Structure 1
C-alpha cells in the first residue's frame, strides 16, 4: 500500500491543488498532513476547506498553533512573521481557527504491521527543526519505539536510515526552502514483512499565481519573492 505525506502548505492553495492531483495519480491508500496549513501565504481559509473536503487526516503545526494563539508561541518574532501572523489571524474564519485548535500534535498509525510515528517538528517539540545534522537525531531515533518517524517543519526533504528504523522529512508543499520553487511531498510504500520504502516527489506548479495574489494583497516583497527562489 502507498501512503502520501504532505505538510507545510502555508496557505498556498495552488501548490496544494497540484500536489493532490499528483497524489491522485499515485493511487494512494491514504493522505496524511503533518501540519502548518496556514501562515505566509494568502489562502488560509481555502486551504483548510480543501483539506476538510478531502477528509485528510491532519496534525497541528507550530504555525497553526501560533495563529490559534495569535502570539509568537511557537514561531520566531521576525519581520515577516510580524506581518504574516496578524494577517492570517484576522483572515481566518472562526470555524477554521477552531479546526486548527482541535488538531492533534502527534499520532502513531499502523499499516501492514508497521508502526509509524507522525510529528510536525520532532517527538520532543512541535517546533524543533529535525534536520539531518540535528544534535538530538541519533538519540531520538534510538528511543523511537515505532518502525519509522515521519516529520516536517524544516521545509527541506530527506530520507535517512538508522539501522532498521526509517526517518523521513517530507519537505514542504507550499513554501520550500531547498532553493527551488517546486512543491515536495513523501510517498511511503508499505508491504507486510518488508522494509518500508520511501521517496520524495517534486511537483512543479504555477508559483507566479500565488505571487500575483500576494502582490494584490500588498504582502511584503521579500515574502513574495521567496516563492520563486525557494529560499526563506
Structure 2
C-alpha cells in the first residue's frame, strides 16, 4: 500500500494535513507527481517535507519552470514562479541546505514505475505539460487517448489538471462528483485506467479540500481532507508578487 500526491504548490497547510492523514493510515511509501512549487506562499518548507518524506518525486511543469524559466506561463503564474525562484535559488554565500534543496529540484525525473503502474505529472506523450481531462472523452476513443493508453501497461497515475478523476480503457469516466468524500474504485485488474489523484495544494473541482490517493493492489481510494485554506490565502495576499486571485482560487476550489 502506498500514497500518491501531486500539485502541492507551496501550500504547507494542505500538505501538513495530507501527511498527517497518510501517517494515520500507517503508509510509509509516498510518491509525488510534481508541482511541489508555484502559486503558494511556502515553497521552502514544502520542498523540505517532500525531500524528506517522498520515496520518489517527479518533475511537474512548475518545477520545470522554476529551473528553466516560465516562458509559456500566464503572467500570474510567471510572477509566482519568479518569486519562488528568489526564495529557493542559491546565491554566492548560500549554505549547504539551500544548495541541496535547489539540486533536488533540478534533478527531478519525468516518470517512475511502481508495481507495473506508470507515474507521471502530465501524460506519457508530454510528461510535464499535456493535460488529460475526463471531459475530452465524449463518446469514445480519440487519437490522443489511444496513444495515451498505448503508453502504459496497467494503471497511469497523473496530476496536472488538479481535478480528481478516473478514465478506463473502455472510455468510462468518473469525476470528483462521483468519487465523493472517500471513494474506493476496486477490481481494476482486467482493464487499463488513468487515475488523476487531484491536487494537494490547489484543488480546481469546486471543492476546497486537499486530494490524494491511496493505492492498495487493484483498489484506488481518493482521500479528501479539510485544511485551513483561509490561512494559506492570507499568506498569499501578504506577498506583493503573488496575485490575490491565487488566494481567491483556494477559497472557491477553482
Partner residue, 2:104 = 99
Is the aligned partner of 1:212 residue 2:234? yes
- The structure-2 alpha-carbon separation of the partners of 1:83 and 1:24, relative to structure 1 and needing over 3 Å to count, comes to same
Q: Say if 1:159 and 1:199, in contact at 8 Å, map to a contact too.
A: no
- The structure-2 alpha-carbon separation of the partners of 1:83 and 1:145, relative to structure 1 and needing over 3 Å to count, comes to closer
Question: What's the secondary structure of 1:187's corresponding residue?
Answer: strand
| Equivalent runs, 1:82-161 vs 2, <5 Å | 82-94=78-90, 95=99, 96-110=101-115, 115-125=116-126, 126-134=128-136, 135=142, 136-141=144-149, 143-161=150-168
Question: How far apart, CA to CA, are the structure 2 residues paired with 1:105 and 1:122?
Answer: 10
Q: Say if 2:161 and 2:198, in contact at 8 Å, map to a contact too.
A: yes
Partner residue, 1:170 = 197
Question: What's the secondary structure of 1:85's corresponding residue?
Answer: helix
Question: How far apart, CA to CA, are the structure 1 residues paired with 2:3 and 2:20?
Answer: 12
Question: How far apart, CA to CA, are the structure 1 residues paired with 2:169 and 2:221?
Answer: 16
Question: How far apart, CA to CA, are the structure 1 residues paired with 2:160 and 2:70?
Answer: 18
Question: How far apart, CA to CA, are the structure 1 residues paired with 2:194 and 2:62?
Answer: 22
Gaps (5+ residues) in structure 1?
191-195
1:117-166 per-residue CA deviation (whole Å, 9 max, x = no partner) reads 0000000112100111445123311x134211111100000123225112
2:213 to 186, 195, 206: 186
TM-score normalized with structure 1 length = 0.88
- The CA RMSD over aligned residues, in Å, is 1.5
TM-score normalized with structure 2 length = 0.81
1:190-226 per-residue CA deviation (whole Å, 9 max, x = no partner) reads 1xxxxx1112111110111111212222332211111
Question: How far apart, CA to CA, are the structure 2 residues paired with 1:4 and 1:103?
Answer: 18
Question: How far apart, CA to CA, are the structure 2 residues paired with 1:47 and 1:128?
Answer: 24
Partner residue, 1:9 = 8
Partner residue, 1:79 = 75
- The structure-2 alpha-carbon separation of the partners of 1:29 and 1:165, relative to structure 1 and needing over 3 Å to count, comes to farther
Deviation at 1:29, TM superposition (A): 4.4
Gaps (5+ residues) in structure 2?
91-98, 137-141, 171-190
Is the aligned partner of 1:229 residue 2:228? no
Partner residue, 2:188 = none
Structure 1 range deviating more: 180-189 or 20-29: 20-29
Q: Say if 1:211 and 1:224, in contact at 8 Å, map to a contact too.
A: yes
Partner residue, 1:18 = 17
Deviation at 1:89, TM superposition (A): 1.1
Partner residue, 2:49 = 50
